[in-house]
């Protein structure tokens, strides 16, 4: 793990930093709690903070609270408070302010290492839950939730004149595929189309039953149109095994280029409008 250590005393800071490093971790050590907080905010890979409660300018409780607020509900981050004062009242206050655990100061090596192993078990479960919540189980693409979260980040970072194009894809006459080849056949078709989309390497999500969304940063309508046409042609060549022989597959695709002021909703709504036009125009086609 990458661990931030906050301890004002130079000697103890060095001792604890060495102990933590002996456990196989990378340590960033600070004496100043505000600097430590800024460091955790700037480095997403920091997974754990061990902080003395006797710190400044933010006191230990303020630091615990700020770290908990920073982590919110999406970043797995463990906080271990460390103090020579282990009175019961204090301990409750520390845990309530956002710490996950409490160790005596100075810490004992075996206990510190064991507590860090507990932290690792908890973090790996949390990461797995987050990953599963973001992933569509049928295709292993992002699900709607995971796609939306990343797409919002992507849009928040874009500045003119950078290009970005959204693509919506819907499998044609999918109800008929389900009717003719069963739900399993339909699922195989969804997975086959997902595999075609994975080849683009772009941010892709399964956002509905047989509907997908793709964000292509760095592409205007022209470049994205070439990618979309390749997807369309590849899908049209798929022969997915079905109950009554190979299942022919076609998709309709709608494109929309990002422009300043667009939200994810407005951008996808335009791509959806283009998709609707592709359906109305006879399906198995790309419309921008
Ligand atoms: P269109 O060309 O207009 O898109 O026609 P369509 O038949 O594809 O129309 P629609 O989008 O309304 O149909 C989607 C169907 O997808 C309805 C639903 O039963 C089915 N479906 C939704 N999720 C799944 C899934 O996970 N697996 C399977 N096999 N079918 C699903
Ligand atoms: Mg439909
Ligand atoms: Mg459909
Ligand atoms: Mg649909």
pLDDT averaged per 10 residues in sequence order, the chain, 288 residues: 98 97 97 98 98 96 97 94 79 93 94 96 95 96 97 94 97 97 97 97 97 97 98 97 94 97 97 98 98
110: how many CB neighbours lie within 10 A of its CB?
Answer: 9
pLDDT at 84: 87
The model scores a pTM over 0.90: no
What residue owns the CA closest to ligand 1's atom 13? 175
180 lines ligand 1 (CB under 6 A): no
40 Cβ contact list (under 8 Å, min separation 6): 4, 46, 49, 67, 70, 77
Ligand 1 touching residue 186 (CB < 6 A): yes
Enter the tokens of residue 208.
């509905």
Complex ipTM > 0.85: yes
SS3 184: helix
The answer to whether the CB of 10 falls within 8 A of the CB of 31 is: yes
Q: Is 170 in the pocket of ligand 1 (CB under 6 A)?
A: yes
């Amino acid at each position: 793990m990458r661990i931030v250590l906050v301890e004002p005393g130079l000697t103890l800071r060095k001792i604890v930093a060495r102990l933590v490093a002996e456990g196989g971790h990378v340590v960033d050590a600070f004496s100043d709690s505000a600097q430590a907080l800024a460091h955790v905010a700037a480095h997403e890979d920091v997974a754990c903070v061990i902080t003395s409660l006797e710190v400044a300018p933010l006191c230990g409780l303020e630091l615990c609270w700020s770290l908990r607020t920073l982590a919110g509900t999406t970043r797995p981050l463990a906080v271990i408070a460390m103090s020579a004062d282990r009175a019961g009242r204090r301990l409750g206050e520390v845990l309530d302010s956002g710490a996950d655990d409490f160790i005596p100061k100075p810490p004992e090596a075996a206990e510190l290492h064991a507590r860090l192993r507990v932290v690792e078990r908890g973090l790996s479960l949390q990461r797995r839950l987050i990953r599963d919540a973001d992933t569509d189980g049928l295709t292993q693409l992002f699900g709607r939730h995971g796609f939306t979260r990343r797409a919002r980040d992507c849009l928040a970072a874009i500045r003119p004149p950078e290009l970005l194009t959204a693509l919506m894809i819907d499998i044609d006459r999918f109800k008929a595929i389900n009717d003719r080849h069963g739900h399993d056949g339909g699922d195989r078709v969804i997975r086959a189309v997902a595999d075609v989309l994975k080849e683009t390497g772009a941010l892709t999500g399964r956002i509905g039953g047989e509907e997908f969304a793709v964000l292509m940063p760095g592409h205007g309508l022209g470049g994205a149109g070439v990618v979309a046409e390749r997807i369309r042609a590849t899908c049209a060549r798929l022969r997915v095994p079905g109950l009554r022989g190979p299942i022919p597959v076609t998709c309709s695709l709608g494109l929309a280029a990002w422009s300043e002021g667009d939200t994810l909703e407005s951008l996808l709504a335009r791509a959806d409008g283009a998709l609707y036009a592709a359906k109305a125009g006879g399906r198995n086609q790309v419309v921008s």
